[in-house]
Structure formats: C-alpha cells, structure tokens
Amino acid sequence: MNRLSIKEQSKATKRTKKIDLREAEKILKNIKEYEARIHDIELEIMDLRDLQSICLKGISYDNLIKTNSLFSKTELYAMKDLEIEQTINLLEYKKRHIKRFLDRIKNAIESLDDIERQIIELKCIENKIWRFVVFEVNLEERQCRAIKTRALKRILKVMLSGEIVILD
C-alpha cells in the first residue's frame, strides 16, 4: 500500500509539472496583456486623481447650508474623497504587484542562454509557429521543443519563488 501511494504521488507530481509548464507558457504568452494592464491602471489612477481634485475644489465653506440631516454636503465630499483615495491606493498596490511579477519573469528570461531566450521569445511571447522558430535559430524542431521545455522549467522556478498573478 505504501508503494502504491508513492506511485500515485509520482503520477500526481508529473501531472502537476505538466500543468505548471502549460501555465508558465500561458503567462509568457500574456506578457503584453500584463503590460497593458499596468498602463490601464495608471490611466485609471490619473482619472481618479482628476476626480479627486474636482471633488475637493467644489467645497465652499462660505455657502454651507446648515441642515438637520445626518451628513452635510461637505462631509459627503470628504467621504467621497476618502473613498477615491482608498481606490487609488488599491490600484497602486495592484500595479506594483503586477510590475514586480513582470520584473521577476523578465529577470528569469534574461538568465536564460541566448538560444533558450530566443526560442522562448519567439515561441511563447511572440507566438510564432515552429517552422519560423526553427528557421530563426537554425536547429531541428525536436531540439527547439526540448530547449523550450528546459527553459520553461527554469523560468517556472523563478516564477514560483514569488506570487503568480493570473489575469482573467
């Protein structure tokens, strides 16, 4: 029974490695989307900063109307400003998180050999067909596939040292 569980663990580990390599390849194929997401977050932050400056400039203490309501206009503006600031902080955190993740991936790619880097960039990042990759690196397709797998394993080790971010 102990041997059987070891075999089952071995099979499960092999399946996990395949899934992990596919996931690593998927992440590499989406690098441009991660960069676009960072830029989109920056634009969203700029929009919120503009809204925030308009919100506070609209408050005038000269024309305040005293009411019996729970919150005055000034308090509502201040609460809205706080809400915007919290949203900006959350977006900046997400941006930093994705940027660090991208930096970790780029660092892993830079640590590869020239041929490994070239194959990863052509096949995974630029999504070129094998015929094009083979022509560019001047190796057989079988060799290119083996190099790609070896490079993905090295990249995966670096990616697993940090947190993996998956875009929906």
pLDDT in tens, 96-137: 999 998 998 899 999 899 999 999 999 999 999 999 999 999
90 in the same domain as 36 = yes
Report residue 19 as tokens.
């899934």
77 in the same domain as 130 = no
Q: What is the pLDDT of residues 14-65, one digit of tens each?
A: 444 444 788 888 888 999 999 999 999 999 999 988 887 776 555 555 555 5
- The Cα-based distances of 166 to 34, 123, 149, 156 in angstroms read 9, 20, 21, 14
Per the CB < 8 A criterion, the answer to whether 116 and 150 are in contact is yes
Per the CB < 8 A criterion, the answer to whether 119 and 144 are in contact is yes
pLDDT at 4 over 80: no
Mean pLDDT of 59-84: 64
Total number of domains in the chain: 2
Q: Give the domain extent around 91.
A: 31-62+70-102
